[in-house]
Amino acid sequence: MKFDYHTHHKRCGHALGAIEDYIREALQRGLHTIGISDHSPFFAAEEDHANPRIAMAKSEFPRYVAEVLRLKEKYAGRIEVALGVESDFYPEHIELYRSIYAQYPFDYIIGSVHSIERVGVFNRERWLGITESAQIAIKEQYLDYIRQSVRSGVFQIIGHMDAMKSYFPAYTELETIEIEKTLQCIGETTMAIEINTSYKEKKKKWHPDLHERYADDTNWYPSDDTLERALFYGVNVTFGSDSHEPDRVADDFEQVSERLRAIGFRKWTMFRAKKPIQVDI
Ligand SMILES: [Zn+2]
Ligand SMILES: [Zn+2]
């Protein structure tokens, strides 16, 4: 069973191609399922299109869903098209987001912590000129946000759970017990963490040599070390390329499957109408 649950397209303002381009690419690459999961609009904003280069307009959201559902029908029997969304997680707005998502027939919702108290997780400045204990405090706050997103019950998949290493690769080596707490918390649910293969893109663009100095030598989120611990806590896993261009659909799917089997995982988790389904890796 080959699938990819994390894809974007031009609606968000920073990805290439239409939804159907991703579906065609997925068909060519022999996928059984392609999940469409563009970035959620910033629903809490007053204006319709608060962040044009980050996410679609609020008014575009129903059209997005309608388009995915139309394509689901059109391709039925050839490839399964799953309706998803990569949702930002803002603790202060979670009830608003919950009420909006309840109006649509999602197969799954990816919950991604993209910012903490308005500072982006990909912001490299936050790590500069602070002590290691201050860095650990940031990591712990990030993990706390992830646990809050788990407990909200809004999401089926946790997006790129160590995204903070993108521009600060030493993140992986910051020791904290909170990672155990977080994995245990996830393991008690039917949610899945995604193995997200887009880290390699970030590595390519930014200081490849710096990334090589650290123990985490994979091209994916999360690190192998986190995956080994996730297995121990019974955490489910799923796959997402986080493609922002059709050419990356299912990128590294085979390599990830192999790595997961080597670590000891035997099942992927897929979702239909938010119900988890276990399939062989
Ligand atoms: Zn994006
Ligand atoms: Zn994301």
Which ligand ends up closest to the CA of 11? 1
Per-residue pLDDT tens digits for 227-244: 999 999 999 999 999 999
Rounded mean pLDDT, 34-58: 97
Confidence (pLDDT) at 170? 87
Are the C-beta atoms of 191 and 158 separated by less than 8 Å?
A: yes
What CATH number has the domain bearing residue 140? 3.20.20.140
Please count the structural domains in the chain. 1
pTM assigned to the model? 0.96
Per-residue pLDDT tens digits for 133-151: 999 999 999 999 999 999 9
Rounded mean pLDDT, 164-173: 88
Q: How far is the CA of 112 from the centre of ligand 2 (A)?
A: 6
Residue 160 has pLDDT above 90, yes or no: yes
Confidence (pLDDT) at 207? 65
Residue 67 has pLDDT above 90, yes or no: yes
Q: Which domain holds residue 229?
A: 3-280
Which residue in the block uniquely carries the two structure tokens 């699938």? 3
Per-residue pLDDT tens digits for 98-146: 999 999 999 999 999 999 988 999 998 999 999 999 999 999 999 999 9
Q: How far is the CA of 133 from the centre of ligand 1 (A)?
A: 30
Q: How far is the CA of 39 from the centre of ligand 1 (A)?
A: 7
Q: How far is the CA of 18 from the centre of ligand 1 (A)?
A: 14
Confidence (pLDDT) at 203? 78
Q: Order the strands of the 33-36 sheet from edge to edge.
A: 3-4, 33-36, 80-83
Which ligand ends up closest to the CA of 120? 2
Residue 202 has pLDDT above 60, yes or no: yes
Angstrom distance (rounded) from CA 112 to CA 124: 18
Rounded mean pLDDT, 194-204: 89
Which ligand ends up closest to the CA of 14? 1
Instruction: For the chain, give the mean pLDDT.
Output: 95
Are the C-beta atoms of 240 and 157 separated by less than 8 Å?
A: yes
Q: How far is the CA of 73 from the centre of ligand 2 (A)?
A: 27
Q: How far is the CA of 119 from the centre of ligand 1 (A)?
A: 16
Count CB-CB contacts under 10 A for residue 55: 26
